[in-house]
Chain A
């Protein structure tokens, strides 16, 4: 079992951050490894199920996931129903004094021997690194958009 976590800031209010990160339909927009998603039973909400396809380190992985919690601006949790291995993901949002949002991401995953000779420690580093990069890029984009709006 791997437990990965990372905290980052997005230069938007919590609800806006939530709308970007916790809506599976938007995952391909900001997650480099995510190639597509398909909602299976309506919009994002608790009980919403969706398919998601990742390309990562030479592997294509498709999962069916269910949203467990969905509190806009506060929390979202999601768990796999089907796929090469199981995971449970969480985003927690909190507003910062400057109006931006601190996002605490946790990801619990049990990949078994899916990654072959790759040590789990590397898988964990990979997950964190990926989220770090993607969120950094997203933050950069949002900041640029904000600056453009101000201009």
Chain B
């Protein structure tokens, strides 16, 4: 590298738009190596050739400016700087004896070392000596300066010169890049460019804002530009097929391949419409053919995939769409993004997130497969007696989520590489995606006239893999039912403890006895096999024999939790046509009217009324174990009919999975109306262990439950994540012997990590009621993202697409479950059963499968990830949002215990429950969320709740979440202090819009990369604070930026002059003085409406920003402010004034100017009361001023904050001040990050101004005054507010609408500006004239 500072003369040239775009990316991430173009080769021959190569490179560098460029920031982005004397950057490494793999790693690492784009050359050579006559050469070029074509031209030139022919067949052009940039700039101002832009605008209108890929990892808020590569190769047969299809459809191989890629992306994202970026050489004119530089441009193909169409039809459409995209190829992509200003997401590249490159060079053809990642082993060329072989180095990874590059061939067959962002995918999944691309292409090329929906997905290897992953252990089930298994266990260990509840312990023998007593009593009432018996029993020892007794009697139980509403209980009993209610006398009030009752506490009494049995389809009830009611979409619960075989399969499988044994005990906490209670009550009994039945009051009380867990000595407990969180919130510290089953809801990562840390083991279990309690289980490993585990025994998992085809690993689909766990169906709902329990799907034609409605995906390494509910897909402003992902991030915020996110009124609303004793701030949670989530996933509104509403099953009841009461959406808010005002002014100037709110995002309202550069420059100039572009992308609001600025630099040292409007150069400013409050944000609205051209500068009270600077006399202020004014405008005529106290300061300043013989062109006072004795309030002590201070804080927000001075006087000192702060914060009139010290400075300035006003009694002067009087002000200070006592010149009073405060705010400020405007016009006209 040759520092430009030491290089000799430099030329400064424009950079083209593509270069600017890449430069901008580099600014956001200076370590980014995603745009390094690499060529590497292994050479064997005379070592002197290496020296010759370097010499040639030296010569070429000296000859061609393009090889000596670097970039520097300019006014609107980068400029190209050309050094005259730039040495080639050659880095030698002695790699003799280095292991080949280690060498490969070394080369890969070296070629990724970042460039400093400000220092030439932006390319370098790495030479590795690997033997006496062998070496590896790697040429690295930064794409901002060069393109792949340039690299090939350079290689060609070196080769030609080495060949000694003396003449280059291609004459390199090292200067054309500058002409190109100039021509481009001119072109972009042309009519043709405008027309093309309009066409592009139409073509891309309504395009999806993002390609939502289901990835292995949660997407970070900003891309890391890290990536990986997965090479692939097509067979010669498929390559021929591609060429043939291209010929038949008058398209190109590129279009054939692109079509297949569109299918891949559509299936991967679940979107029919996908945007693909595709590079073009950009060398549209012949004169650029041999030019060195970066000319590549990217166009965006708007693809659409319809599985009902054929590949040939898709290809025809893609051809048209690709040609449509190419029509706009003269428009540089970064410029297009800027002009179109699509919705931006800092986490993704704009407009497209997947790319397809077709790189085929018209020269250097014998080195085509040198550019493959997987070249043929025999590939070699001889140059000057040296044998050169490919040395593939992965490169340009992480530019986009997915990128396929093709064009090179090996043995006549196309090869390629799939590059992926490691922000989204892991290597195993990427490998599967590459395979899927090849297979998809093969399949479609083989049957181009078949509908896409009818083609098989995946290859044989993938299908075998899916079958392996999706099939649980095959175990033979005993021909026994649960009561039989229990009886066997009871006979084996009759004295062992079986159930413990209410301080009572029953042995297996006792439990068997009780269960059989129940069964006998049921039979005696006439209950028979297939009957349903409603069981409503308090949690206690009696519960288990009741359920077992029903099963032993051959009947099926319908569990009824007595705590459920009576209507719901009645419905379940009636819908299931229960023959009898098995219950307890204590629950008499909950008994169901009309249903015969058998009391557990008085079995001998028999049924209360005769049991009437209903006639049922024998098949429907033959193996029925229980009917469990779950919520239905219609609002009426639906019964799920579970057979004995499924229950037995679950219990035995979980016994196997958990290793539950006789020494184990399980604390059962779940209501019997939730199917998972079955596992708690029965698993221990088929394993010889103990069931510890927890009463419902304890189960619902975190603290009590924590005690029970500890005292019980339980080795197992099962609960939902909500219940585990409840325990944690109650201070539960865990139990080292406790094994945990967690299921029923998404398991958040942070909760999983907590549980793993405090327990013996954690298993995430997953399964719908319809497949009997659980279908998968997996040990949670904290270092790994949560997955839902492996299938249980005799269970099959299938991830299928809409057509019922198995999707390839890495692809999302709907999870279907088959096997022994399947329910018989929905009780009495044949139609619904037919919809959800399906046989005959293409993936498993002979198998009955249950459709879960859950989206799932196998990762490349065989983990099953759950991606939320299909029917609960959230899409906002075009973005698909995983609510669980947002919830996980909110829950990870310090102090947050639980979080739920829902969509209300087209926006995300987050509900957050704080940890006990923690006070959360909405702003704090939002800031934390914004640090981890893309902007569109940050909830627009957040509500902090004491607790979340729960269903009876201890799941969060989303339907009962209240409307959010704390809303922090980006509603329009005005700037609140000088920093925000200045930033707002910069934004309006840079973005060319009339006004911005402090919560508007720069990129949402028209900002783009180049404007961001201007903004950071403006910030640097104003405050000497560096705001990196990457920070601007992430903290894009004025409020956030102001915080950065305040933290960052010399803000305390700046002058108190705030530029409200830059105005035209040379025009004299209007100086406005601060009012009583000391800040000048009151003038923002006025400035907007003042005539353009004239700079507007406001002077705030120095004490506002600097401690101890408050000035207590108007005379002192005037002297000081005049110094600032004189610095900016040394001589008159002067225009000045202000609102309220600002007008009073103006009087003194105008007087001083007059004394100095200067002309005062305009002195305006806006509803300022004259500083005369009569206008001084008598009781303006510190408490009164503090009361006014509070009132004035609220005024700009249209809010009221009236705190009586007497009250403040009573509180006194700091307490009074703190009271003000609390009240102001409560109504949201203080900046979120405003600190006490700052507000204290504000108040000190306010006090000082109050003192100054009270002690300023000037003499009359021969001045002219334009007085704007607020005509709606109720307090009467006379027709001229007393100014007739002071102004001896022309006193013109204009009445304007509004009261003293509202006169400066919309809509009245516009009228005030109108009134002032004519008095500023003369100056402007003079200037213009």
Interface contact B1181-A57, CB-CB below 8 Å: yes
Q: Which residues of A contact B1177 (CB under 8 A)?
A: 58
A32 within 8 A of B: yes
Interface contact A58-B1181, CB-CB below 8 Å: yes
Interface contact B1180-A117, CB-CB below 8 Å: no
Interface contact A129-B1186, CB-CB below 8 Å: no
Interface contact B1181-A126, CB-CB below 8 Å: no
State A84–B769 Cα separation when bound (angstroms).
Answer: 80
Interface contact B1186-A117, CB-CB below 8 Å: yes
Interface contact B1251-A117, CB-CB below 8 Å: no
Q: Which residues of A contact B1183 (CB under 8 A)?
A: 116-117
B1243 within 8 A of A: yes
Contact with A along B1155-1184 (1 / 0, CB 8 A): 000000000000000000000011111111
B1250 within 8 A of A: yes
State A58–B1184 Cα separation when bound (angstroms).
Answer: 9
B 1225-1253 contacts with A by CB, 8 A: 1243-1244, 1247-1248, 1250-1251
Interface contact A117-B1213, CB-CB below 8 Å: yes
State A115–B1116 Cα separation when bound (angstroms).
Answer: 22
Number of interface residues of B (CB under 8 A): 32
Interface contact B1250-A57, CB-CB below 8 Å: yes
Q: Which residues of B contact A122 (CB under 8 A)?
A: 1110, 1112, 1244, 1247-1248, 1251
B1113 within 8 A of A: yes
Q: Which residues of B contact A113 (CB under 8 A)?
A: 1212-1213
Q: Which residues of B contact A132 (CB under 8 A)?
A: 1113
Interface contact A116-B1209, CB-CB below 8 Å: yes
State A133–B1214 Cα separation when bound (angstroms).
Answer: 31
State A115–B1251 Cα separation when bound (angstroms).
Answer: 12
Interface contact A59-B1181, CB-CB below 8 Å: yes
Q: Which residues of A contact B1244 (CB under 8 A)?
A: 119, 122
Interface contact B1110-A116, CB-CB below 8 Å: no
Write the nearest CB–CB distance from B1180 to chain A, whole angstroms.
Answer: 4
A 48-71 contacts with B by CB, 8 A: 57-59
B1108 within 8 A of A: yes
B1255 within 8 A of A: yes
A117-B1213, A117-B1216 known; A125 and B1181 CB under 8 Å? no
Q: Which residues of A contact B1110 (CB under 8 A)?
A: 121-122, 125
Q: Which residues of B contact A32 (CB under 8 A)?
A: 1255, 1257
Number of interface residues of A (CB under 8 A): 19
B859 within 8 A of A: no
B591 within 8 A of A: no
Nearest-neighbor residue (CB-CB) of B1250 within chain A: A57
Nearest-neighbor residue (CB-CB) of B1173 within chain A: A32
Q: Which residues of B contact A36 (CB under 8 A)?
A: none
B 1284-1320 contacts with A by CB, 8 A: none
Q: Which residues of B contact A57 (CB under 8 A)?
A: 1180-1182, 1250-1251, 1254
Nearest-neighbor residue (CB-CB) of A127 within chain B: B1112
A94 within 8 A of B: no
Q: Which residues of A contact B1113 (CB under 8 A)?
A: 129, 132-133
Write the nearest CB–CB distance from B1258 to chain A, whole angstroms.
Answer: 10
Interface contact A116-B1248, CB-CB below 8 Å: no
State A119–B1246 Cα separation when bound (angstroms).
Answer: 12
State A125–B1112 Cα separation when bound (angstroms).
Answer: 6
A37 within 8 A of B: no
Q: Which of B1112, B1178, B1182 contacts A129 (CB 8 A)?
A: B1112
Nearest-neighbor residue (CB-CB) of A121 within chain B: B1108
Interface contact B1182-A115, CB-CB below 8 Å: yes
A113-B1213, A117-B1243 known; A125 and B1248 CB under 8 Å? yes
A118 within 8 A of B: yes
Q: Which residues of B contact A121 (CB under 8 A)?
A: 1108, 1110
Q: Which residues of B contact A130 (CB under 8 A)?
A: 1255
Nearest-neighbor residue (CB-CB) of B1184 within chain A: A58
Q: Which residues of B contact A118 (CB under 8 A)?
A: 1182, 1247
Nearest-neighbor residue (CB-CB) of A115 within chain B: B1182
Write the nearest CB–CB distance from B1329 to chain A, whole angstroms.
Answer: 44
Q: Which residues of A contact B1250 (CB under 8 A)?
A: 57
Interface contact B1179-A58, CB-CB below 8 Å: yes
Contact with B along A121-148 (1 / 0, CB 8 A): 1100110011011000000000000000
A58-B1179, A122-B1251 known; A116 and B1213 CB under 8 Å? yes
Nearest-neighbor residue (CB-CB) of A59 within chain B: B1181
Contact with A along B906-935 (1 / 0, CB 8 A): 000000000000000000000000000000
Nearest-neighbor residue (CB-CB) of A55 within chain B: B1178
B1024 within 8 A of A: no
B1217 within 8 A of A: yes
Write the nearest CB–CB distance from B1221 to chain A, whole angstroms.
Answer: 12
Interface contact A58-B1254, CB-CB below 8 Å: yes
State A121–B1178 Cα separation when bound (angstroms).
Answer: 23
B695 within 8 A of A: no
B561 within 8 A of A: no
Write the nearest CB–CB distance from A62 to chain B, whole angstroms.
Answer: 15
Interface contact A58-B1180, CB-CB below 8 Å: yes
State A113–B1183 Cα separation when bound (angstroms).
Answer: 12
Nearest-neighbor residue (CB-CB) of B1248 within chain A: A122
Write the nearest CB–CB distance from A113 to chain B, whole angstroms.
Answer: 6
Q: Which residues of B contact A125 (CB under 8 A)?
A: 1110-1112, 1248
Contact with B along A83-94 (1 / 0, CB 8 A): 000000000000
Interface contact A116-B1182, CB-CB below 8 Å: yes
State A121–B1250 Cα separation when bound (angstroms).
Answer: 15
Nearest-neighbor residue (CB-CB) of A113 within chain B: B1213
Interface contact B1181-A116, CB-CB below 8 Å: yes
Q: Which residues of B contact A58 (CB under 8 A)?
A: 1177-1182, 1184-1185, 1254
State A132–B1250 Cα separation when bound (angstroms).
Answer: 18
B1115 within 8 A of A: yes
State A33–B1255 Cα separation when bound (angstroms).
Answer: 9
Nearest-neighbor residue (CB-CB) of B1179 within chain A: A58
State A126–B1213 Cα separation when bound (angstroms).
Answer: 19
State A121–B1111 Cα separation when bound (angstroms).
Answer: 11
State A113–B1181 Cα separation when bound (angstroms).
Answer: 13
State A57–B1112 Cα separation when bound (angstroms).
Answer: 11
Q: Which residues of A contact B1115 (CB under 8 A)?
A: 133
Q: Which residues of A contact B1213 (CB under 8 A)?
A: 113, 116-117
State A115–B1180 Cα separation when bound (angstroms).
Answer: 12
State A59–B1217 Cα separation when bound (angstroms).
Answer: 19
Interface contact B1112-A126, CB-CB below 8 Å: yes
State A58–B1183 Cα separation when bound (angstroms).
Answer: 10
Q: Which residues of B contact A115 (CB under 8 A)?
A: 1182
Interface contact B1179-A129, CB-CB below 8 Å: no
State A113–B1177 Cα separation when bound (angstroms).
Answer: 22
Most chain B beta carbons < 10 A, residue from A32, A58, A59, A133: A58
State A52–B1111 Cα separation when bound (angstroms).
Answer: 27
Write the nearest CB–CB distance from A132 to chain B, whole angstroms.
Answer: 8
State A32–B1213 Cα separation when bound (angstroms).
Answer: 27
A116-B1209, A117-B1243, A119-B1244 known; A129 and B1181 CB under 8 Å? no
Most chain A beta carbons < 10 A, residue from B1183, B1186, B1212, B1248: B1248
State A76–B1250 Cα separation when bound (angstroms).
Answer: 32
State A135–B606 Cα separation when bound (angstroms).
Answer: 110
State A32–B1254 Cα separation when bound (angstroms).
Answer: 11
Q: Which residues of A contact B1254 (CB under 8 A)?
A: 57-58
Write the nearest CB–CB distance from A64 to chain B, whole angstroms.
Answer: 22
Contact with A along B1101-1134 (1 / 0, CB 8 A): 0000000101111011000000000000000000
Complex A-B: 14 CB contacts under 8 Å = A32-B1255, A57-B1180, A57-B1250, A58-B1177, A58-B1184, A58-B1254, A116-B1183, A116-B1212, A116-B1213, A117-B1186, A117-B1217, A119-B1247, A121-B1110, A125-B1110
* Extra pairs beyond A58-B1178, A116-B1181, A121-B1108 (8, CB < 8 Å): A116-B1209, A117-B1213, A117-B1247, A118-B1182, A119-B1244, A121-B1110, A126-B1251, A133-B1255
9 smallest CB-CB distances across A and B, nearest first, come from A58-B1181, A116-B1182, A58-B1180, A129-B1113, A125-B1112, A118-B1182, A129-B1112, A117-B1182, A126-B1112
